Structure 1
């Protein structure tokens, strides 16, 4: 918290990004929403030691430790939207809880695809979940971040932050325009455990249904918080064991032999 240089950089990024503002682009029936969060991320990348060297390695390490704290502020803001819509959220309670089982689809789709593209144990970290902050922490605790699983989860985490917001904004608009799904169900589906992706998706839906703006934000925020709560246990007890099993099956199918047994080194 004493790294005043880091706080100054963040403040400047926030001001610049907010001055740029959000941009909406029509893409067929859908809408691509570019949010200030995306601008801040892209500008921040160019400030790292790899490019302009405005931030050093210590700054980057300090920033990483503050991610969870800063996301708490965002989720507190969303919490203020849930209260007025609480009766509707309670009514949709079972749907909000059971939707977490849909995230297991990333395992069945991602693991075989990653293995056949040439990834090995990186596929477990990359495809066991949507790879947001709780999942990064889980992989770090179970496997360590220096191993292939840690590289896999961080790769998807970064790609999700950069590309995921755009993808979610577009896909929500297309489903709203072409599918019979209700906007409330799409808002619930937006809450996969990523504040940025949920914000982009709900933002697109809100631009199409401005009369439902507050309710859509409440459903998305409630779904996102539930995904953060039960999603971690779902990953620990179900997705990770399933990923290990499916990885072995996919590996044997491609290479004709079982992979080497993972041995966790004691520190």
Structure 2
């Protein structure tokens, strides 16, 4: 066995995918999504921390419980179906996100340097501070996903497309995303309150640092700061929201084209320095550079193959025209159903909006096949952003068709599907143990503090 993560073939050798597997996955996805939407958004105070739990969090938690239970386990064939629906659903989610970003492009002109530069802190604070810790702890290529950014929904979507759900990078992104979704708002609220109480930072700088790309983290941190500085509460909320807007507009592109390339190059450097291979195992100090990748031979006393996660290889669904139509239909109908249930409204234009998002999704998949170097996640977000920008005549039409489609509600079934597939990655996630928790907390802290420090510098020039 080579020094790479072992891939089990037991999933590939399983029984062929049938209509029953489709029915099981569709039924579970819709049912758990309905429950998540009915639970709704739950907000409560934990001391100074404002905790916000959204339907997408309930969906992934409920899906995760179903995906990991042993009474009637999710079969590899069913997970294969879930993966196909997940890949389509995540691009639909990004398409809707793009139609929200486009109309806000005109607001960038009035943003000051303090707001614009905070994104630099978010990007490089995580890579420079969290990455070496992750490599030193032996996370291997998981470190790239865990330390690339704070890994919110758009980064999770990109990781699925760029690296695949079986990759170490994806497991790092998913782990940090899940920890952030469940505990990020509480942690950032407590951290913002702690730093605000020290009076080291201008509260406006801390507010700028809260533009992490996560609404729940931003709201939690801003709530904590507002309690500490009641006279500036309105300004703190406004700056935090504006900073979050910038992150949502440019953060994804900056992460893909700046942060990720830098992170991958520094991963090679830190791996050589700490004597680690791509799986995080200790190797000899003599490392041979070949094609820009770190190479090495294992030394005695290093971790054995028994320590390498055993990842099941689920069978792949062959998307014939019939099954492709079914998959797109399921994603569209389930997303529309959750939107109706969550917003308690429905118009015919909502149907048109979902159809447009599905067409953009299909187009992005086609373009990614023609230009393999650009994933469909980048295509769809870019195209949707441009088409919805105010300087194009298509913006008004897209706004009227998609305006009532809540991006979070559309994403609920997709996040539920992620939960249903967790069972495949349990051995790999268990192998990360406490290490990924430490790296995740460092990633959140570094992103917030670095952005706040840049904002502090610019505000007091």
TM-score normalized with structure 2 length? 0.45
The alignment's C-alpha RMSD in Å is 3.8
* 2:209–2:243 contact (8 Å) kept in structure 1: yes
* 1:248–1:259 contact (8 Å) kept in structure 2: no
- Cα deviation, residue 154, structure 1: 1.3
Residue from 166, 180, 184 that aligns with 2:186: 166
Equivalent residue, structure 1, for 2:130: 110
Q: Using the alignment, how far apart are the partners of 1:71 and 1:171 within structure 2? A: 33
CA deviation vs aligned residue, 1:124-178 (integer Å, no higher than 9, x gap): 1211111112222333343333222122211211122122111111011112211
Equivalent residue, structure 2, for 1:83: none
Q: Using the alignment, how far apart are the partners of 1:32 and 1:66 within structure 2? A: 30
Residue from 46, 62, 68 that aligns with 1:50: 68
1:206 counterpart SS class: helix
1:35 counterpart SS class: strand
* 1:202–1:217 contact (8 Å) kept in structure 2: yes
Residue from 109, 116, 123 that aligns with 1:97: 116
Q: Using the alignment, how far apart are the partners of 1:244 and 1:224 within structure 2? A: 26
Kindly report which structure 2 residues correspond to 1:23-42, keeping only aligned pairs within 5 A, or say none: 23-26=44-47, 31-37=48-54, 40=58
Query: Taking CA–CA contacts closer than 8 Å with sequence separation of 6 or more, which of the two structures ends up with the larger relative contact order?
Result: 2
Gaps of 5+ in 2: 1-25, 276-284, 294-371, 373-461
Question: Residues 9 and 136 (structure 1 numbering): CA distance in 2 closer, same or farther, change over 3 Å?
Answer: closer
1:22 counterpart SS class: strand
Question: Residues 10 and 166 (structure 1 numbering): CA distance in 2 closer, same or farther, change over 3 Å?
Answer: same
> Is it true that 1:131 corresponds to 2:148 in the alignment?
no
Aligned length: 245
Gaps of 5+ in 1: 81-85
Larger Rg, first or second structure (1 or 2): 2
Question: Residues 8 and 119 (structure 1 numbering): CA distance in 2 closer, same or farther, change over 3 Å?
Answer: closer
- Cα deviation, residue 8, structure 1: 5.9
Residue from 240, 249, 262 that aligns with 2:269: 249
- Cα deviation, residue 206, structure 1: 3.0
Equivalent residue, structure 1, for 2:314: none
1:230 counterpart SS class: helix
Question: Residues 218 and 59 (structure 1 numbering): CA distance in 2 closer, same or farther, change over 3 Å?
Answer: farther
1:110 counterpart SS class: helix
* 1:13–1:43 contact (8 Å) kept in structure 2: no
Q: Using the alignment, how far apart are the partners of 1:204 and 1:67 within structure 2? A: 34
Q: Using the alignment, how far apart are the partners of 2:62 and 2:271 within structure 1? A: 38
Kindly report which structure 2 residues correspond to 1:1-267, keeping only aligned pairs within 5 A, or say none: 6=29, 9-16=32-39, 21-26=42-47, 31-37=48-54, 40=58, 44=62, 47-51=65-69, 65=89, 69=93, 93-103=112-122, 104-255=124-275, 256=285, 257=287
